């Protein structure tokens, strides 16, 4: 128990080192950069494009096993539209679980001036972002297909409802301090990945993240269809008897 408290204190000290305010006084977004085997997920590239539409700075958050994070950070530096990078290498993040990531994200958002927290509409994000939003006592918007930052500080989203047969418009007022949302990958172009180092001058910090955890997760490989990033799909149902 004492070791867990000490590890927790170490993590919070690390988080205090990254209090970055938006230099423009406008939107400042934190983007979860998801990756697999050293490759940044396609959905994350689309989410970066969505974040860029808000204006202001976009900071990328990279978490994972130490041997994977280093390479992902180098690739993330070349993403068009990314201003800064924070990375958190730890063996416990080798398999990203919302139960382990949410304390890190929550404290990071609390100790900074971010106005938006977003990710692709992935399995991980669909578990993580609502959890973080609940902890911060703010609403979360899922699977958005359009985003616009308004002059009064509010943010307007559009998202499909009723199996895509209708579009809902959601306006998050400026009174909501952090807008939390996931992005449908097919609704936005993918950010360029082979440009000059966009975030070369960013302050990249390794956060102290040795939080005690006992979660065990077993994943099986699957070639299932991903509605968030694959462009075409069909629906199937029972035919007439």
Q: Each residue of 51-94: pLDDT tens digit?
A: 999 999 999 999 999 999 999 999 999 999 999 999 999 898 99
The answer to whether residues 56 and 28 touch, using CB atoms and an 8 Å cutoff, is yes
Mean pLDDT of 115-129: 97
Mean pLDDT of 118-127: 96
Cα distances from 16 to residues 21, 26, 83, 111, 213, in angstroms, run 13, 22, 19, 7, 22
Q: How far apart are CA 26 and CA 47, in angstroms?
A: 19
Share of the chain above pLDDT 90, in %: 62
């Amino acid at each position: 128990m004492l070791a867990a408290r000490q590890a927790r204190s170490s993590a919070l000290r690390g988080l205090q080192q990254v209090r970055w305010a938006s230099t423009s006084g406008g939107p400042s977004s934190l983007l979860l950069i998801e990756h697999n085997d050293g490759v940044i997920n396609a959905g994350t590239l689309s989410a970066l494009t969505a974040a860029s539409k808000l204006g202001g700075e976009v900071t990328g958050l990279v978490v994972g096993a130490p041997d994977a994070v280093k390479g992902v950070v180098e690739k993330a530096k070349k993403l068009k539209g990314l201003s800064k990078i924070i990375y958190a290498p730890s063996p416990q993040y080798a398999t990203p679980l919302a139960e382990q990531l949410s304390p890190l994200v929550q404290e990071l958002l609390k100790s900074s001036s971010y106005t938006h927290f977003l990710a692709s509409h992935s399995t991980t994000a669909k578990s993580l972002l609502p959890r973080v939003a609940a902890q911060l006592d703010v609403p979360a918007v899922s699977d958005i297909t359009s985003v616009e930052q308004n002059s009064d500080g509010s943010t307007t989203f559009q998202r499909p409802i009723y199996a895509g047969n209708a579009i809902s418009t959601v306006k998050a007022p400026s009174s909501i301090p952090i807008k939390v949302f996931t992005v449908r990958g097919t609704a936005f172009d993918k950010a360029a990945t082979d440009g000059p180092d966009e975030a070369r001058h960013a302050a990249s910090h390794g956060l102290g993240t040795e939080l005690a955890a006992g979660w065990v997760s077993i994943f099986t490989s699957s070639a299932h269809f991903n509605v968030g990033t694959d462009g075409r799909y069909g629906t199937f149902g029972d035919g007439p008897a």
